[in-house]
């Protein structure tokens, strides 16, 4: 009768020098309310700090929020470090002010999904709910 | 299949002992999720238990426990000690979700190889910690950390489980959180081995320290106890008072080691661990026995809660 669902853990991080964290906090709140355990790093994180936090927390997904325009540099660095630390099954997604034309390049460099401005919160929640069970089945 | 799983749990345990952070992180997940291999890990790790000082940081929400935790990490690292942190935040009873926000205050230490931090949701446990806290502690003990900080959820007046988990409890409060009458109440004020008045930079600290001291003094008999909980003013924001707190924590650890008290506390911890382990499993097994038919019978008033519960508990009671 009692079915205990696996609780997925998600790290939300803000890489780089951009201090605008309202968006990240909205995502944190939406994921919390959707039943995830959400860890937030705070602002001004280096890719190394983010990857190390993801490792120690053994999260199932990492979400990066960036509004400064440095996503082409910082997102792939996080992807590379996660891989280097042996976290292959981790879903990496990003959001912020990211032009559509950058998305294919980001995906090629290991970012699994990108959510641009105006994405409904339910799309992000739905994406994780759909993809996490598969990603963790590694 | 179980044999293979046993082998992989053994390999994981070996990785934890060797200081591999990825193995430790994975092991913690298995323990926290109560995966089938969790039992094997606990059995492998238990022989290392009791060597590290487990420091409980407890106190109301917003008193600065996490910031203080960051300061204590820096203090211990300055002494060359390796520090493990388990920080518990509340899980929503409504959605099962949680915002684990303690890491934010400690992030500057994240890349220090001598520090490891894990955030935990309380996952239905009332009392300030999580059901699986002991397993998580065992993993950090096996990984060789000599100081293990357990930060509780922001506590109310009677959430005192940390006293049965930690060797040394630092109860954190702030100025303006209440007068001597508050400090005389039962519950959390009984469990501190040291009382920390944090945010000493805000003013009002002297009054808070003296209120706490005089409330504690009311319970003092004619004979001096081997350990009387000191009260210390600290500012986690500026670092003021942190070395003093560090020294008190060390003194308490020496007191525990040098008296029978350390052994008595560990015995109480083992009892609490057993109680959590057993109640958790019995509870689950019992709930698994509730059938749809039981509920149907109750709906039709052909049975009642007592009769159903007794039938369910019978085989468990043995």
Residues of A with CB under 8 A from a CB of B: 1-2, 5-7, 28-29, 31-42, 45, 48-49, 52-53, 55-58, 85-87
Whether B121 and chain A come into contact, CB under 8 Å, resolves to: yes
Whether B217 and chain A come into contact, CB under 8 Å, resolves to: no
Q: Do B98 and A55 touch (CB under 8 A)?
A: no
Task: Tell me the per-residue pLDDT of B26-84, one tens digit each, with 9 for 90 and over.
Answer: 999 999 999 999 999 999 999 999 999 999 999 999 999 999 999 999 999 999 999 99
Secondary structure (DSSP) of A42-108: -SSB-HHHHHHHHHHHT-SEEEEEE-SS-HHHHHHHHHHHHHHTT-TT-EEEEEES--GGGHHHHHH
Please tell me the distance from the alpha carbon of residue B65 to that of residue B69, in angstroms, as a whole number: 6
A92 lies in some domain: yes
Residues B51-81, buried b or exposed e (16+ Cβ, 10 A)?
ebbbbbbbbbeebbbbbbbbbbbbbbbeeee
Q: Do A58 and B291 touch (CB under 8 A)?
A: no
Q: Does residue A30 contact residue A127 with C-beta atoms inside 8 Å? A: no
pLDDT at B3 over 60: no
Q: How far apart are the first and last CA of chain B?
A: 31
Give the residue from chain B lying closest to A53, CA to CA. B110
Tokens 């002992």, residue located: B17
Q: Which domain holds residue A33?
A: 22-132
A137 lies in some domain: no
Please tell me the distance from the alpha carbon of residue B120 to that of residue B128, in angstroms, as a whole number: 11
Q: Do A7 and B117 touch (CB under 8 A)?
A: no
Q: Do A56 and B118 touch (CB under 8 A)?
A: yes
Instruction: Write down the pLDDT at residue B5.
Output: 72
Residues in B touching A35 (Cβ below 8 Å): 92, 95-97
| Closest CB from B96, B107, B121 relative to A53 | B107
| Closest CB from A6, A31, A41 relative to B103 | A41
Instruction: Write down the pLDDT at residue A50.
Output: 96
Which of B133, B62, B52 is closest to B102 using CA atoms?
B62
CATH number of the domain to which A81 belongs: 3.40.50.280
Task: Tell me the per-residue pLDDT of B227-263, one tens digit each, with 9 for 90 and over.
Answer: 999 999 999 999 999 999 999 999 999 999 999 999 9
Q: Do A35 and B97 touch (CB under 8 A)?
A: yes
User: Would strands B168-173 and B194-197 be described as parallel, antiparallel, or unpaired?
Assistant: parallel
Q: Is B7 helix (H, G, I), strand (E, B) or coil?
A: helix
Confidence of residue A2 (pLDDT cuts 50, 70, 90): very low
Task: Tell me the per-residue pLDDT of B256-279, one tens digit each, with 9 for 90 and over.
Answer: 999 999 999 999 999 999 999 999
Q: Does residue B145 contact residue B49 with C-beta atoms inside 8 Å? A: no
Q: Do A32 and B97 touch (CB under 8 A)?
A: yes
Give me the residues paired with residue B55 across strands. Answer: B149, B168
Q: Do B96 and A35 touch (CB under 8 A)?
A: yes
Give me the residues paired with residue B201 across strands. Answer: none
Q: Does residue A43 contact residue B113 with C-beta atoms inside 8 Å? A: no
Residue B112 sits at φ, ψ, to 5 deg, of -70, 120
Which of B172, B164, B141 is closest to B72 using CA atoms?
B172
Instruction: Write down the pLDDT at residue A1.
Output: 39
Confidence of residue B203 (pLDDT cuts 50, 70, 90): confident
pLDDT at B219 over 90: no
Average pLDDT, chain B: 92
Whether B205 and chain A come into contact, CB under 8 Å, resolves to: no
Residue B232 sits at φ, ψ, to 5 deg, of -135, 140
Residues in A touching B290 (Cβ below 8 Å): 1
Task: Tell me the per-residue pLDDT of A63-120, one tens digit each, with 9 for 90 and over.
Answer: 999 998 899 999 999 999 999 999 989 999 999 999 999 999 999 999 999 998 889 9
A110 lies in some domain: yes
Q: What is the number of domains present in chain A?
A: 1
Instruction: Give the neighbor-by-neighbor strand order of the sheet with A37-40.
Output: A113-115, A91-96, A61-66, A9-13, A37-40, B98-100
Residues in B touching A31 (Cβ below 8 Å): 97
**B interface mutation test: which of A52, A59, A81 has the most B CBs within 10 A?**
A52
Number of helices (H) and strands (E) in chain A: give both, helices first.
Answer: 5, 5
| Closest CB from A2, A32, A42 relative to B288 | A2
Residue A5 sits at φ, ψ, to 5 deg, of -75, 150
């Amino acid at each position: 009768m009692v079915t205990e669902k696996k609780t997925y853990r998600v790290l939300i991080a803000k890489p780089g020098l951009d201090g605008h964290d309202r968006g990240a906090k909205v995502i944190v709140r939406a994921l919390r309310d959707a039943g995830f355990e959400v860890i937030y790093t705070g602002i001004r994180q280096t890719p190394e700090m983010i990857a190390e936090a993801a490792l120690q927390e053994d999260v199932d997904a990492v979400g990066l929020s960036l509004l400064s325009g440095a996503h082409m540099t910082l997102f792939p660095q996080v992807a590379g470090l996660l891989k280097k630390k042996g976290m292959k099954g981790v879903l990496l997604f990003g959001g912020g002010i990211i032009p559509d034309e950058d998305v294919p390049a980001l995906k090629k460099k290991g970012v699994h999904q990108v959510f641009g401005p105006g994405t409904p919160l339910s799309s992000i929640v739905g994406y994780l709910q759909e993809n996490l069970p598969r990603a963790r089945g590694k | 299949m179980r044999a293979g799983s046993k082998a992989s749990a053994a390999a994981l345990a070996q990785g934890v002992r060797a200081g591999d952070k990825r193995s430790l992180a994975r092991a913690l997940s298995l323990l926290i999720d109560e995966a089938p291999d969790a039992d094997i890990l606990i059995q492998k790790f238990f022989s290392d238990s009791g060597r590290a000082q487990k420091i409980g940081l407890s106190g109301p929400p917003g008193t600065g426990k996490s910031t203080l935790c960051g300061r204590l990490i820096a203090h211990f690292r300055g002494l060359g000690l390796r520090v493990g942190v388990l920080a518990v935040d509340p899980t929503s009873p409504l959605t099962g979700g949680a915002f684990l926000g303690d890491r934010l205050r400690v992030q500057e230490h994240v890349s220090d190889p001598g520090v490891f931090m894990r955030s935990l949701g309380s996952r239905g446990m009332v009392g300030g910690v999580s059901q699986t806290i002991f397993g998580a502690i065992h993993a950090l003990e096996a990984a060789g950390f000599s100081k293990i900080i357990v930060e509780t959820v922001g506590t109310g007046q009677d959430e005192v489980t940390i006293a049965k988990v930690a060797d040394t409890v630092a109860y954190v409060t702030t100025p303006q959180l209440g007068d001597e009458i508050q400090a005389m109440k039962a519950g959390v004020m009984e469990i501190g081995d040291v009382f920390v008045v944090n945010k000493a930079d805000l003013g009002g600290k002297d009054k808070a320290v003296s209120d706490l001291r005089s409330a504690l003094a009311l319970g003092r008999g004619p004979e001096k106890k081997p350990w009387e909980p000191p009260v210390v003013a600290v500012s986690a924001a500026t670092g003021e008072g942190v070395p003093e707190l560090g020294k008190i924590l060390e003194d308490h650890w020496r007191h525990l080691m040098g008296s029978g008290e350390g052994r008595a506390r560990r015995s109480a911890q083992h009892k609490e661990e057993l109680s959590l382990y057993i109640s958790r499993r019995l509870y689950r097994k019992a709930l698994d026995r509730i059938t749809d038919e039981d509920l149907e019978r109750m709906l039709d008033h052909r049975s009642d809660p007592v009769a159903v519960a007794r039938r369910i508990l019978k085989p468990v009671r043995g």
